[in-house]
Chains A and B, each alone.
Chain A
Amino acid sequence: GQNIDQPTEMTATEGAIVQINCTYQTSGFNGLFWYQQHAGEAPTFLSYNVLDGLEEKGRFSSFLSRSKGYSYLLLKELQMKDSASYLCAVLDRGSTLGRLYFGRGTQLTVWP
């Protein structure tokens, strides 16, 4: 089966740095995605990691350790608009091509 775990809520202040962790246990692994979802909107893609290491994209970075079943999303120089839910999703190489398993999401609130 698949088990993806991430914290339910986090808070931080403007300008700060926040790290959102995600641990996973899956029967097959073909990559990990991070999505941002503002209230009432569809998820939007942030990052994709398939190899171990850090991927940096502007203020956002994502890290993956396949041996530990662990990833994190790092948000720097936080802005109010970063208040959203952040979803960790694992791509399963199993029975269905492209099958994504989502975590419950981490609701981030950025305070002024």
Chain B
Amino acid sequence: SAVISQKPSRDICQRGTSLTIQCQVDSQVTMMFWYRQQPGQSLTLIATANQGSEATYESGFVIDKFPISRPNLTFSTLTVSNMSPEDSSIYLCSVQAQNTEAFFGQGTRLTVV
């Protein structure tokens, strides 16, 4: 199992600003995943964060908007840049070993005003 500490748990931000979300895992993991969950929707993968290399982004998500850092095997950050109200969502980090369940952080509820 893995325990993930994600912060902040929630924030209200002004449009045009940026927010960095942090995830700390209690064990070393090869890959971390960042998801977005818009109101009433399921989870959409933003990117996969690999230690020592650039993140791999899914279609519709770009590095300039969602830069990701992965400095070591237990930590990652996701930045939501130049925010607009459409970025209001829950952001979740996740880790998963091969062929096992995914563990999720508590989520960050972002509201952009």
Residues facing B in A1-44 (CB within 8 A) are: 30-31, 33, 40-44
A43: chain B residues at CB < 8 Å are 43, 92, 104
> Looking across the interface, which residue of chain A has its beta carbon closest to that of B6?
A42
How extensive is the interface on chain B, given as a class?
Answer: 20 to 34
**Contact among A40, A45, A96, A103 for B102, CB-based, below 8 A:** A45
How extensive is the interface on chain A, given as a class?
Answer: 20 to 34
B56: chain A residues at CB < 8 Å are 96
Q: Does B86 contact A (CB under 8 A)?
A: no
Task: Assess the A97–B30 pair: CB atoms within 8 A.
Answer: yes
At the interface, is chain A mostly helix, strand, loop or mixed? loop
Instruction: Knowing A99-B48, A104-B42 are in contact, say whether A42-B101 is a contact too (CB < 8 A).
Output: no
Task: Assess the A98–B98 pair: CB atoms within 8 A.
Answer: yes
Instruction: Knowing A41-B107, A42-B106, A45-B102 are in contact, say whether A97-B31 is a contact too (CB < 8 A).
Output: yes
Instruction: Knowing A42-B104, A96-B48, A97-B31 are in contact, say whether A31-B99 is a contact too (CB < 8 A).
Output: yes
Q: Does B13 contact A (CB under 8 A)?
A: no
Task: Assess the A100–B96 pair: CB atoms within 8 A.
Answer: yes
Of the A-B pairs whose beta carbons lie under 8 Å apart in the complex, a sample of 23, sorted by A's number, is A31-B99, A33-B102, A40-B109, A41-B106, A41-B107, A43-B92, A44-B104, A45-B102, A45-B103, A48-B101, A87-B43, A89-B102, A91-B99, A96-B56, A98-B31, A98-B98, A99-B48, A100-B33, A100-B94, A100-B96, A102-B42, A104-B42, A105-B41
Query: 14 additional contacts, CB 8 Å, given A41-B107, A42-B106, A45-B102?
Result: A30-B99, A42-B105, A48-B101, A96-B48, A96-B56, A97-B31, A98-B96, A98-B97, A98-B102, A99-B48, A100-B33, A100-B94, A102-B42, A105-B42
